[in-house]
Structure 1
């Protein structure tokens, strides 16, 4: 018997449930499948039937879209400029208050989109950004990636050679070395996100080539002169 997971999108039952007012999250819970799978099927269905969203909103008694202000449009433009220039989305753990504020704004827009309340102007404007709606897990992974990059940049700025993932002198070198090795591996296989490569090239030039043969490194002093605590990958 062919499972729903193997059916060609869009799944007719899910489309009918959505048309009758059920949310993506509710359909996923009832069908015991990932919400992302339901979202994909519904996106295909909406492309085939432009009136599906309106039918869903009417059946669900959806709240009106959030009001668009001049400030909202400016925030959207700031986000687009940041992603296009820096190759990444804002982090809620950034050192700058402006970036943290922009990250909070993006999170609210993601929530609006999930609830079907995102204003058309914002939806159409953000459509130029890849995977802007993201997922909590994807956002957390991105923040960890940015944190590791910052740690590598600081390590290099302290005068250290490229960290090794084999025979390291410290736990800090090991963890950074494993992370860097993974980025190089993905680059060789053509699996590294172009935006991440651009960010790496800007933050730590020469990262893909690695250390020069015969060049020695010196142990990097961690906080209070002790070996650094193991970092989370």
Structure 2
């Protein structure tokens, strides 16, 4: 056990053992950096093992600080989404761009399996954080077109044609549906998109 009662500066020793750096101790105690450094070197010689105690405490402290900062970033993204109704965008600047890059790193970490379960749980409060903003936009555009298709079928009782069409609107929907049919045949249609089409419009394969 360290004999702090025999030290000239026991408060420095306690701070050092708690993981504070030499610079932090010097600043907090208004002491010259070189003086604090010499004292701690002498203390290590008198009480071997203090440096190891400090290193372990510093590592633990840094982990706590990193966890605290990480949760603050989650809160910052959550506040941004609450105020804007969307995720931070890649083509943004300043604070929004910082949030976008941070969230992108979390997606990458998740894909690599390096996020902890508690981190994933915290990020889930953000909504669909795993899908990048651009992909979310594309998905919403796809769903919008699918809703237009459903409305067309309900109104006409038929699927839209992409060659023998009667209106430009039918042509647009017909081409879109034909693309979905081709992607399905090629195995490139996302499963959830195929599922939504089959549920909304049975026999949805495109027609000429």
Larger Rg: 2
Of the two structures, which has the highest relative contact order with CA contacts closer than 8 Å and spacing of 6 or more?
A: 1
TM range, normalised to the smaller chain? 0.3 to 0.5
TM-score (norm 2): 0.44
Query: Would you tell me which structure has more helix in proportion to its own residues?
Result: 2
